[in-house]
Chain A
């Protein structure tokens, strides 16, 4: 039981840390793409390419570079989380009604002030949606941590597979699925509430 709790904590913490980095980097890149559209389409294409790479392949490649351990998994999670966050940030910003931007400019906001006071606040629901997708995916990917020396519920699952022990597998798998579902549902609800006061 203790082992399970420990594994869950490990699993969640590595996902959490990765998500924090991914959110910061993702939103920053999203804003950059919005400010410089040409660069933006390049950034988004790059993120799409990363997404297409099979996760096991990416993980293994990163291991070659960073070695075994949590860092590798963290980098992998951040890379996979980027696309949903960048894309949602970019899409939301570019879909803002032009007259709102006009009003903000006309009143004397600088580009940065506009971003912070108006553009990002109005984009929060969609950005949040991107974070949700990234988070739920990450929970699943992190299971593979066992293969590259990173912690988490993957160990329990893998040991179960090696021992052909169904119960062990379930012991590791069920928390992952349940936590993923809870986050999906909870963040979905939060997303809806965030939509108030954005139009």
Chain B
């Protein structure tokens, strides 16, 4: 259990922490988040006395931290930093064993700890224990960094943006591992990040700070639904949209407006010419009043068409249609279920608005996600 009571910290005239008070329950995964300079890292480092508060007290399990020897205190608290900070002159095994050795564990005990911990993160002992940090990847190094913090079984682990320097894929898997380890070993974790995704994913409780004060302390769900201030809201950003149902997509959002149409009275030869000029193999056929009749394909014309005659008798009505204001999903279902390459989109008056092809669908989705693709 960690308690802050009226803690302030300042550097000269800069106030870093303002009368900070909060409690972290044992076994909780707490994330400190906020804009740059809000004091989250300072708060973290006050717990293990890397920073001493100006006023106020920090209690761990009821005991004032300043009343304990700082060096001994730190050996009871795990500490993971963003730059990883594995000692280059020590092997993986030696790095992990640093705190146990400081506490006087025997060589045997240290070895067991190293084996158990490496197993915890699926890094085989034989391969990895004698390697030096420079021989490991960033993700592996940070895993070892985390193990090193856990080696002496401290009840509390402090993590200062530990995954900030890693690529998204590694970050993702490490987040999962940390969450899993925390649940399994029942540690109290205080985790600093500026990444809202990370906070929402990992935290039992999020403490949002700004300019040295706590703006809100709540569960992820609570904070998502009821952000206490504009700052928090803007941090949430795209996460908020996920809970608001997006405007439904319509067929017309997916269609291609440029459609090649012919009147039913058009002659076969003309139609073939048109198709070959445009390098397409079917045309939409409309009536004199522009309403949709069907389609005609080049195969049909070749197979059954007669020169000099109109295409009216060759009209095919197999192609499915949708209204332009119909749900896009319906249109896509029709597109995918039919054996044809497109679905015709009709206006209210049954005139042709456009067609939905697989390509137009892909283009529309791309633009919805990433903006104008033609740039």
Contact = CB atoms under 8 A, between A and B. Distances in A.
Given A103-B81, A106-B74, A107-B74, A197 B88 contact: yes
Nearest to A101: B85
B89 A122 contact: yes
Nearest to A123: B89
A107 B99 contact: yes
Interface stretch (A75-83, A84-92, A108-116): A108-116
Contact of B102 (A99, A113, A121, A198): A113
B81 A106 contact: yes
B83 A109 contact: no
A5 interface: no
A197 B48 CA distance: 29
B93 to A, nearest CB: 14
Interface string A106-148: 1111100100011001100000000000000000000000000
B89 A121 contact: yes
A108 B83 contact: no
B132 interface: yes
A110 to B, nearest CB: 5
A113 B103 CA distance: 12
Given A106-B50, A108-B75, A197-B89, A99 B132 contact: no
A197 B132 contact: yes
A154 to B, nearest CB: 41
B134 A108 contact: no
B73 interface: yes
B250 interface: no
B72 interface: yes
Given A103-B79, A103-B81, A113-B102, A108 B74 contact: yes
Nearest to B133: A197
Contacts of A118: 87, 89
B89 A106 contact: no
B85 to A, nearest CB: 3
B74 A105 contact: yes
A110 B45 CA distance: 17
A54 interface: no
Given A197-B132, A197-B134, A199-B134, A109 B89 contact: no
A197 B132 CA distance: 7
Interface in B15-67: 45, 48, 50
B269 interface: no
Contacts of B99: 107-108
B69 to A, nearest CB: 10
B98 interface: yes
Interface in B81-100: 81-83, 85-89, 98-99
B375 interface: no
A109 B79 CA distance: 12
Given A100-B87, A118-B87, A108 B71 contact: yes
A3 B112 CA distance: 60
A118 to B, nearest CB: 5
A68 interface: no
B88 A122 contact: yes
A113 B74 CA distance: 14
B88 A108 contact: no
Nearest to A100: B85
Contacts of A71: none
27 contacts: A99-B81, A99-B82, A99-B83, A100-B85, A102-B50, A102-B81, A103-B79, A103-B86, A103-B87, A106-B45, A106-B81, A106-B158, A107-B74, A107-B75, A107-B99, A107-B102, A107-B149, A108-B72, A108-B74, A109-B71, A110-B71, A113-B102, A117-B98, A122-B87, A197-B88, A197-B89, A199-B134
